Amino acid sequence: MREIVGLLRDLVDSSGVQLKGLQQLLLAQHREGPRPPSYQVLSDRLRGRGLQNNASLIYAIIAVLAPPERKEGMTEEVRQHLVNARATLAAGSTQPSQEPTPDSPDPELLDVLRENRDLRSKVERIERRLARKEKRLQALRDELAAAERRAPAPSVGPARDEPTTVIPSFPDEGVAATRLADSDIAAATSSPSAAAAGTESSSGSSDVATVADALRGMPDFEATTANALRHAFDSVLDGRRTGRFDPATLGKSEKVYLGAKVTHELTAAWGFPPGQETTDLPIGRQQVVLKFTTGATWTITPGEVGRVCLLVSANDERSCWSLGLIRIGPGHLSGAANRDFKRTLSAAGRQAVTWLFHNAHLPENTLLHLPAPLREKIFATEVSRRGSQARVNNLFRLAQGRLLNRTTISTVAVTADGPKRVRTARETLRGDGILVLGGASRQATIARSLGLPVPRDGEWVSQRVTRRRPEHGDAPSIALSDEVWTLAGPDDPIEEAPSLAKLW
């Protein structure tokens, strides 16, 4: 099994993924199957303990970490090693045990031989790693030479890799979301500068326009994409287990997992078949590379130069997301590369992106956007001591007139039974004159009649009410339990709210 252990450790080292990150990747890749082993068990397996009886884990690690061109070869190599190891074990078990003889090898000599074998294995791993780096470096040299051959003389006109679709980069934070129409792309790609860029750039613009048309043709594309991004954030934060609601609290491996989760949620929302959770998507007869970031730029690998990339960004703090397309050219990348030869988009690259959505609305992370003093009161220590139900009651008491969804309730309660906590809070808060209205049709009618935000299924809104009196004038009101109720003001007395259970 030493060969398999060496292969797996080399694979983990070359990928740059930490053990926690590997565990999250295994969870994302096999979420429908058995859960991956714990951190300690995974560490033991990578040291060879119990690995021979866990072939499925070996193949899973190869599936999430190995480059596509090496997966099949590595899988076959591992299979052969497992067959040999089991054959050796079977042969050893059939031989009768023998007492050591005077001719037995010296134990110290055996230790030296084992140490030499381990050193030889390490040297071979380093040599393989250097060979891969040299191969990647040679590919970059070839790519640079090809780009230099294509570049025209300065007097002829703009460089061949000059962006042909010039759309302004991210607007200021206060600018509303902008969706580009087909005519905008057509006008940009038909400008004199685009025509002068040459046949290759025109082909790239055509490919981008084809992919853009295919995306716009998807039903409810904007709402579907926004909801998928929201679900990806909520899933990784996992508030019902951790109580977290701020992406800034995610660890390094969790941020890596967020990228994988976004890919899974988007591919599922866009109708790709199960099992195709990959960053290489067939859209509009093009193989499109999906890139995600929570920041302002994206990292590009050498193999993605010359390909159409679908750039997605999401900012939970600003409640916005953006989606654009670009065919990556050498002139679109920054000069400096990291140790994996990845580079970021340059200013020219960001200008060349064709944006389908700019700062489009991302469904709100309610707890993140509540005022900090209000959050502190909801999670106050003296409230938490009374349990999760007390925190939910406090949430409805302090965040009145605001839509609260199932994720928000479960995060405050740190439990999965959010609706049960809401039903208990509805009865408890009646004494304070507070109505808690849900997405049921008649409760939504009450919210609409009182001028409150109308909750949908899985949403709730709370508000203190009072019996209507002459001083309320023509304020919105509704008849409940043979009395007319309206929204309570600061000076209105506290009256027990009507019971929703007795209304229908």
Which of 90-104, 343-357, 401-415, 426-440 has the lowest average pLDDT? Answer: 90-104
Q: CA 67, CA 484: separation in Å to the nearest integer?
A: 68
Question: Following CA atoms 442, 447, 450, 452 in sequence, which dihedral angle do they give, to the nearest 10 degrees?
Answer: -170
Q: How far from chain centre, in Å, is Cα 405?
A: 20
- Judged by DSSP in three states, 291 sits in strand
159, 151 contact by CB (below 8 A): yes
* Residue 457 CB coordination number (10 Å): 9
> Could you tell me what percent of the chain has a pLDDT over 90?
41
- Whether the CB-CB separation of 452 and 465 falls below 8 Å is answered with no
Classify each residue of 25-64 as buried b or exposed e, where b means 16 or more C-beta atoms within 10 Å of its C-beta: bbebbbeeeeebbeeeebeebbeeeebbeeeebbebbbeb
pLDDT confidence band for 174 (50 / 70 / 90): very low
User: Is the model more confident about 277 or about 134?
Assistant: 134
Q: What is the mean pLDDT of residues 45-49?
A: 77
SS3 287: strand
pLDDT value at residue 231: 96
Please check whether residue 394 is in contact with residue 370, taking contact to mean a CB–CB distance below 8 angstroms.
no
Q: Tell me the per-residue pLDDT of 114-141, one tens digit each, with 9 for 90 and over.
A: 778 888 888 888 888 888 887 888 777 7
Cα dihedral: 329, 330, 331, 335 (round 10): 140
Q: Has residue 179 got a pLDDT over 70?
A: no
Instruction: Please name the helix (run of DSSP H) or strand (run of DSSP E) that holds residue 449, with its range, or none.
Output: helix 441-449
For residue 180, pLDDT over 70 is answered with no
Q: pLDDT tens, 79-121? A: 877 777 777 766 655 554 444 444 556 666 777 777 788 888 8
User: Which residues make beta-bridge pairs with 91?
Assistant: none
